[in-house]
Structure 1
Amino acid sequence: MFEFHGWAVLRHHTHDTEDAEQELQIEKLFDFIEGVDSEGVITRKIRNGLVSLEISGLHNHRQQYVFDLFKKIAELLPGSYGLLYIYDDEDIGKNHDHSNEFVVFKLVRGHLIQEQDYYLSPYIPTVEDNG
């Protein structure tokens, strides 16, 4: 299973934001979202000048669009920040085994950085029982 939960505050700059440039980049991001969110798992919010989004869902297998969304945010809106939690029971590679843990991606200053999860991992027995 591929489970994902994330949020991001969308900002073009870390401090002063040029409204026209920010609006242009957010429009580009929303166009990108329209092309990848066929199941409606991404929620966009605008409230009191804060533009944010949330993503949450579950697929049978890894879906690249989840990662691509956060990479696109980092590219278009480098002042953005947020977190993406991924649980993928098939994530076993040559040098890693994340099949029993969440992996956290930190979005900050135009970078998406993989971090270790200390709150919900190991998945079994922290979240689920071994059954």
Structure 2
Amino acid sequence: MLNSVKHPRSVLAISALLLPLGTFATMSTASPSGEVLLCEIKATPVGSMIRMEAFAHADGHLGGTYSLQVENSGKSGRSTINQNGDFDAREGRPQLLSSVTLDAGGSAYTVMLDIVSGEKSVRCTKQIGRD
């Protein structure tokens, strides 16, 4: 049996308190038809590691391609991870595009996410680590 939420404001307040646990960057674009495409990069600490997740959000049904690039600079040098593929986002459902988990100690990461759907494109960039 499903439980219903009797106090939606309480749920929103609790969600706002938990938000700092996972930081994120977002950017959106809208077409003349009103469809909105949003990208999100979420970084979540996992022990001594950091998980970076790339999401696409849409206010309707949108498909397209994405490209995720994670640049690392740390004690052991520099490296770049590239991932790309197709996506199919639907209204109200964040579409996980990619996930990368890397060592958090002493490294700085630049994460770039590009999403293209038809004539719409959006880019998110996030700096993680060594403040």
Verify same fold: TM over 0.5: no
Give the TM-score of the pair, scaled to structure 1: 0.35
Highest Rg: 1 or 2?
2
- Greater helix share, structure number: 1
Relative to its length, the structure with more strand (as a share) is 2
TM-score (normalizing by structure 2): 0.35
